[in-house]
Amino acid sequence: MSSLPRRAAAGLVVAACACASLSPLLTARYLPLLDAPNHLGAIATWRYFDDVRLGLAEHYSLHLRPVPYWGYFGLVRLWAEVIPLEWANKLFIALTVVGLPLALRAFLRAHGRPTWLALAGFPLAWNYNLALGFIAFVAGVTCFVWGLVLLARLADELPGRGRWITIANSLVGIGIYFFHPIPFLLWLVTVAIYVPRRVVAVGFPALALFMGQAILAHEQGLGSGPVDRGIDGQWLDLASNLKAFRGYLFDFVTPGQQLWLVCSLLVSLGLATALVVRDSRRDLRPALLLLVLIVLYFVLPMQLRRPIDWWMINGRLAVVIALVSLACVPSGTLPGVRGVLVAAPLVLAALLYPAAVAARFADFDSRAEDFRRIVTHLPHNPSVLTLVYPPLGDPAVNVDAWREFPSYVQVERGGYNPWAWDDGFPMRARPEAKKPAPPGHHPERFVYELHGPHYEWFLTRNEPTGLFAKRSELQQVAEQGAWKLWRRK
């Protein structure tokens, strides 16, 4: 087969994998990603802040600072000027999902590794972090891989050259910071590995921005506590971290299917190592970076409680470890049948895994339709308390998909959301507009005499028997599936 038909066939394979990877975004209006509703609620408040009908300016003030999440919130906010907000959010996720294998291919090519392994980026894009709704972090990982490409090019430049590529690397570092701080900190570590003599020139601008924000975070109300009280958190032991690693790579499907996906990666890695036609290059930088990442995975806490309450820290590194490990095979090429053998398990994973995710998303969305119907009975700018009682999970996915649905009430109808995170960006709740709600996202702590008098509407899911039925001052307006809507007479 000549080179042209081979390239055409490879292009068709990549296109099929890309289409499959995007299919979950098309099968559900509401994506069952844990934190996604809260993010979309924050972006909606920013986008529709001046809409009098939604009344958002009554309850919030905009608080725009140069902090992480600007890259995510800002781009979706901008695109929502021309397309609907939900589609703007899906466009951002789509670019992240497709951008990861493209970045991985460039990363492998920059180190002389077989580019067939880049197909692993398609299934890895639908990782545990995305299931948790860590959309900004996943985007930061994609940018981090692109940053590795630029760093490799800078490291391979002749001495005395590379001024513009140095500037480009600095700008990429700043860009990664505006998505998420963890990929940014990993990028700083990588700068020290790839270009140790240019650490200051490359990393200082972004590091100065990061340090300034870290110092001012508590004063600006960005979810950080005082730093003078020390560090407190939860660290997992070696065995627990090893056991959890597989689940951190892939989610949405059963543990048995997750094991099959991990095996497909390992098989392709093993075949690539055995079948690669090696060349004379010996580039140990990916191996050194992989070693550092593995150490960090076991050393970092699973959760910090102080000075910042931050969950899932070391687990986020699992997907980065998997991506970098692909560049640790020997340098060389996989011509002909060798490349087909290496690519086959990855193509199967890239086609079958997103198809399973898409089916699960469609199943979830069929139940979310009940919410969409009942929320239309609410007025705009409602005084509403949304109580989502356990079970918070859904048979279609492995996370608490219903936990943050009070934010979708705000997306649909505006008003004040007492369950929204008050992280200080892109808005802050006005002190006079705040209303009490059960603490810690625990509706079972709802006390009518304490919380109820402050609201005119009550939207519930899995409502306990007798919660509102015996209250003469309330009347039931609608019921749809597991949802009920009550109004004060």
Report how far residue 111's alpha carbon sits from residue 228's, in angstroms, rounded to the nearest whole number. 44
Domain final residue, candidates 300, 326, 360: 360
Task: State yes or no: pLDDT of 315 exceeds 60.
Answer: yes
Q: Is 324 found in the same domain as 416? A: no
Q: Is 338 found in the same domain as 383? A: no
Question: For residue 478, what are the domain limits?
Answer: 376-488
Which carries the bigger pLDDT value, residue 4 or residue 281? 281
Q: Is 44 domain-assigned? A: no
Task: State yes or no: pLDDT of 379 exceeds 60.
Answer: yes
Share of residues in the chain with pLDDT > 70 (%): 95
pLDDT mean over 22-44: 96
Q: Is 405 found in the same domain as 325? A: no
Q: Is 354 found in the same domain as 413? A: no
pLDDT mean over 109-115: 95
Report the number of distinct structural domains present in the chain: 2
pLDDT mean over 65-88: 94
- Tell me the per-residue pLDDT of 204-255, one tens digit each, with 9 for 90 and over: 888 888 787 766 655 544 455 555 566 788 999 999 999 999 889 999 999 9
Q: What is the band of 367 on the pLDDT scale with cuts at 50, 70, 90?
A: very high
Q: Is 454 domain-assigned? A: yes
Q: Is 392 found in the same domain as 353? A: no
Q: Is 130 domain-assigned? A: yes
Question: Which pLDDT value is given to residue 160?
Answer: 60
**Rounded CA Rg of the chain:** 24
Hey, which residues does 427 pair with through a beta bridge?
A: 62
Domain final residue, candidates 325, 360, 395: 360
Report how far residue 9's alpha carbon sits from residue 81's, in angstroms, rounded to the nearest whole number. 38
- Residue 459, SS3 per DSSP: strand
Question: Which pLDDT value is given to residue 9?
Answer: 80
Q: Is 10 found in the same domain as 78? A: yes
Cβ pair 103, 322 in contact under 8 A:
no
- Residue 114, number of CB atoms within 10 A of its CB: 27
Strand order in the sheet with 483-488: 384-388, 457-461, 483-488, 474-480
Question: Which pLDDT value is given to residue 424?
Answer: 83
Cβ pair 458, 452 in contact under 8 A:
yes
Question: Which pLDDT value is given to residue 233?
Answer: 87
Q: Is 235 domain-assigned? A: yes
Q: Is 40 domain-assigned? A: no
pLDDT mean over 58-75: 92
- Tell me the per-residue pLDDT of 166-214, one tens digit each, with 9 for 90 and over: 899 999 999 999 999 999 999 999 999 999 988 888 888 888 887 877 6
Task: State yes or no: pLDDT of 333 exceeds 80.
Answer: yes
- Tell me the per-residue pLDDT of 120-142, one tens digit each, with 9 for 90 and over: 999 999 999 999 999 999 999 99
Q: Is 388 found in the same domain as 310? A: no
Give pTM, 2 decimals.
0.94
Q: Is 426 found in the same domain as 347? A: no
Question: Which pLDDT value is given to residue 216?
Answer: 63
Q: Is 281 found in the same domain as 384? A: no
Q: Is 399 found in the same domain as 356? A: no
Q: Is 386 found in the same domain as 280? A: no
Q: Is 51 domain-assigned? A: no
Question: Which pLDDT value is given to residue 98?
Answer: 97
Helical axes 163-177 vs 199-216, angle rounded to 10°: 20
Domain final residue, candidates 360, 392, 421: 360
- CA pseudo-torsion sign 430, 433, 439, 442: negative
| Span of 11-25, 158-172, 363-377 with lowest mean pLDDT | 158-172
Q: Is 396 found in the same domain as 290? A: no
Report how far residue 476's alpha carbon sits from residue 102's, in angstroms, rounded to the nearest whole number. 52
Q: Is 54 domain-assigned? A: no
Mean pLDDT rounded to a whole number for the chain = 92
Q: Is 35 domain-assigned? A: no
